Structure 1
């Protein structure tokens, strides 16, 4: 069982897993402090989740190691002082490599694992050095208290083959755009790792995923990430969702809940100063073989989605509520 794993998969591995309740107020406060720490360093920040961001610091560092080493130390120190949380940082010339480096830069003793091989930590050494197990992947290790354990760097390497070899052993699901369904499609063709994915022709990828995703995966599996950098992409949807502690004893209670959730979505739409053009309802339906856990989580579910196209004015909620109830 690991962080980021789907709850259903975790329960398959550990049926007696005890799930702790969320502390939403603490999460929100900590997330705000985390974002504040990064935004005070650079305004060029693209949020991924409540505890993960991309930050463009090109204008703040030079090509020498000491420059970004000092910046990484400051960012981690600021986050620790504000939140009490230990941050991991991945440094690279593109977002794909930076995000992968972050996953393998977890601080603490032992090894930062990259696929099946391990990036050995240096113990008493305090230097920027190449990792022999993975050409093109560099490990910055500091065994002291100066804040650098937990930083992994993938510098700009002229020989792209070195970088692609460093990625080869990683599971294909580590690439952006490879979710559970895409992973199943790839596994049917014998693809399990990034190296396997590189062996698929572009024509084969087009047949599986279409032109756009095929082009993207073909480049990503080779360490090429030229996706446009837009730290403030335009918002395309506004909604409200909850899948925790939702239980109903009768249909009227269900209808009241749907009406209240619709009202919340409309309030958010009003705050955003927008109108809508479509309404989507998602329902979590328990799978036939789902185990009766008796907890407040959703358990093993299939997500059913239905959409309706019509003009949505937050000031006229009746039509939206009626459509939601239907």
Structure 2
């Protein structure tokens, strides 16, 4: 029996929660994110999107496009509470849930005899009646197509993609809709005249491998409706991190050290509270010209002490050539291990 996968995606989640809590915002362009010109858009209402505002766009650009928008700071605690209530509805329907973010998930309903369209409508009705929000739903026989379908007619959409609709239904889509093709890959394909899925579909498989390596086989299959990924009901925490956009661009080493020290303290606290230690330390910076740079270091031992994290991050920073002022700095740890780990601090004598 074919799998029956539902992809659910809340509509403009953060902005929708703000409108839910303040109905006077209904119908207005609402932008949630950093409220200073140095911040970025976390999400925005569909009224704001009509002006060209997008997630991850710098706030100063959003203000230029939509000067009459209502700009709000995120309230992550509130969003998490609402998200928990929504996921409780999902759990009442199926235990096979793969969360992708606070407002997005895959649900495997293959074991339920009910028509998946009826299941989707039930979810939509319950979220609307019990929470007061709308979501969009995609239904298909694999994850790739289900996610693609949920984005088909947002907001408050419902789309099903059956096997007999593939691949023709995909042909008109721009190639940036294909999961696994990042902006660099899209640009690379655009440079050789490939803009739509139909144009990509005509290429022989060896071209996919030449352009994308082993992953080329997956892209080749994906646009033919083949995606064998399963819904994963539990995920290991892969990384923990903190970052901030600076009030003013700077290359002041002393100021940057203070941010690293603050991040090290917060990350250490999270690691210890969850009984984790980490082996890989990554420093991220974004320059004044919006160029991202990351540098990582993997250790021979696991650590979770603030002073050890700080020392390693500081060494990484000292090894980075800061030719341009920095607008954002972040620190993250990965290669996590759970359990009590007896470690000797680098600072122990």
Q: What does residue 280 of structure 2 align with?
A: 278
* Contact preservation (8 Å) 2:53, 2:65: no
> What do you get for the CA RMSD once the two structures are aligned?
2.7
- 1:155 matches 2:158: no
Name the SS for the 1:61 alignment partner.
coil
Q: What does residue 146 of structure 2 align with?
A: 98
Q: CA–CA distance in 1 between the matches of 2:91 and 2:53?
A: 26
- Where do 5+ consecutive residues of structure 1 fail to align? 109-149, 288-300
* Contact preservation (8 Å) 1:238, 1:269: no
Alignment length (residue pairs):
262
- Of 216, 219, 225, the residue aligned with 2:218 is 216
The residue correspondences of 1:295-310 to structure 2 (distance < 5 A) are 301-310=290-299
Q: What does residue 343 of structure 2 align with?
A: none
Q: CA–CA distance in 1 between the matches of 2:273 and 2:210?
A: 42
Offset of 1:222 from its aligned partner? 1.2
Q: What does residue 113 of structure 1 align with?
A: none
Q: What does residue 37 of structure 1 align with?
A: 89
CA shift digits 1:235-283 (9 cap, x unpaired): 3x22223344654775433212111112222222233333222111111
Q: What does residue 193 of structure 2 align with?
A: 190
Q: What does residue 298 of structure 1 align with?
A: none
Q: CA–CA distance in 2 between the matches of 1:12 and 1:36?
A: 34
The residue correspondences of 1:195-274 to structure 2 (distance < 5 A) are 195-211=198-214, 213-235=215-237, 237-244=238-245, 246-247=247-248, 250-274=252-276
* Contact preservation (8 Å) 1:278, 1:311: no
Offset of 1:79 from its aligned partner? 1.4
CA shift digits 1:34-71 (9 cap, x unpaired): 22211221111111121111000111134xxxx33332
Q: What does residue 50 of structure 1 align with?
A: 102
CA shift digits 1:174-202 (9 cap, x unpaired): 11111212211221221111112112222
Q: CA–CA distance in 1 between the matches of 2:60 and 2:102?
A: 22
Q: CA–CA distance in 1 between the matches of 2:133 and 2:245?
A: 26
Q: CA–CA distance in 2 between the matches of 1:302 and 1:273?
A: 35
* Contact preservation (8 Å) 1:275, 1:312: no
- 1:175 matches 2:178: yes
Q: TM (normalized to structure 1)?
A: 0.72
Structure having the larger proportion of residues in strand? 2
* Contact preservation (8 Å) 1:285, 1:303: yes
The 10-residue stretch of structure 1 (194-203 or 3-12) with the greater mean CA deviation from structure 2: 3-12
Q: CA–CA distance in 2 between the matches of 1:256 and 1:244?
A: 14
- Where do 5+ consecutive residues of structure 2 fail to align? 1-48, 316-349
Q: What does residue 293 of structure 1 align with?
A: none
Residues 3 and 270 of structure 1: CA distance in aligned 2, closer, same or farther (over 3 Å): farther
* Contact preservation (8 Å) 1:45, 1:231: yes
CA shift digits 1:187-239 (9 cap, x unpaired): 1221111112112222222222211x10111011112111233222333x222
